[in-house]
Every structure is written in C-alpha cells, then in structure tokens.
Amino acid sequence: MKQPNSKSKLVRALIWTSGTLGGLVLIYMIAMNMMMAQMNSEVPTDLDYSTTRFSENGLFNVSYIASTGTVPVNQLHQWTLHIETPDGQPVENATITLDGDMPQHGHGLPTQPRVTKNLGNGDYLVDGMKFQMGGWWVMDFNVTANGQTDSVHFNMMLKQ
Ligand SMILES: [Cu+2]
C-alpha cells in the first residue's frame, strides 16, 4: 500500500519553481542584453542627414529650417517645415503630426512640439522643439493633405 508522498510533492514544487524563476531570469538577461546592444550600437554609417527629403511613399517633398540656424541642444526653438508635391507645388492645408526620438537610447523629446501655424505657401511653423542631448536623433513627420497621408524622417547628428 502506497502512502501519499508529500516529500516528493515538495521536491516537484521546488523544481517547478526554480525552473520558472530560472526561465524568468534568463528572459530578463536576454532582454537586458538586447537593450545594451541597442544602446551600444554604432550609428549607421549610411544615414541621410539631408534637411530636404521625400516622404516614404514619395507623396511629399519636405524640408525644414531651424529658427536658430543649426539645430541646437537644450534650447527651445522653432522649425519651419516646407512641404511640396514631387513636381514642386506647395502643399497647402496639410495636417501634420510629429515625434522625435534617439534610436540608440530609446527615449524621445522632452517637449511635445506641434505645428502651431499654417504660414501659407506650403510653410508650417513647428513650435516647442527641444533636444535634450547631442547625438543621433530622428524626427518623424506625418503629413496628411488632399486625403493622403505619408511620413518623412529626418536624421540629425546634434553636437552639444
Ligand atoms: Cu539620448
């Protein structure tokens, strides 16, 4: 006749627990490694730093000028965005949303800049621009005009 073996139950429970914990630790370590690898990754050598770029699907030709000339670090400033069609016609009455981030650091902007003024002739004022550190930044603009949306990305290497 067999007796319920509470000792082996306990052992099994311990094995299960340590296995689960070990698995979690492993997942955590892999995630940390991936994060570190991303942070230590080199800036791609083939980045396009142009201030005039076509949107992803080629719908808009977009350029920017910073109110300060060169884009500063740790200084609130404005951008003027100019949007044209591929054949050079200014894009009027566009709706624009934007966001910026540092791909190597996994953080974004310290402010929430937005388009505050339609200046006409395809020009739009972006207020509240600020970059809190030097390095590689990417600014993303989503442009909707004439019922079509496209996004454009500007790479910047800011010097502190
Ligand atoms: Cu950063």
Q: How far is the CA of 159 from the centre of ligand 1 (A)?
A: 12
User: What local confidence, expressed as pLDDT, does residue 12 receive?
Assistant: 86
Q: How far is the CA of 36 from the centre of ligand 1 (A)?
A: 14
Q: How far is the CA of 131 from the centre of ligand 1 (A)?
A: 9
Q: How far is the CA of 135 from the centre of ligand 1 (A)?
A: 7
Q: How far is the CA of 27 from the centre of ligand 1 (A)?
A: 25
Tokens of 4: 């319920």
CATH of domain 52-158: 2.60.40.3340
**How many Å apart are CA 60 and CA 141, to the nearest integer?**
11
Domain boundaries, the chain: 7-41, 52-158
Query: Please, what sign has the CA dihedral across residues 20, 26, 28, 30?
Result: negative
User: What local confidence, expressed as pLDDT, does residue 85 receive?
Assistant: 98
With vertex at residue 80, the alpha carbon angle to CA 77 and CA 86, rounded to the nearest 5 degrees, is 150
**How many Å apart are CA 100 and CA 129, to the nearest integer?**
10
The rounded average pLDDT for each run of 10 residues, N- to C-terminus, in the chain (160 residues) is 71 85 86 70 93 98 98 98 98 98 97 98 98 98 97 96
Q: How far is the CA of 78 from the centre of ligand 1 (A)?
A: 20
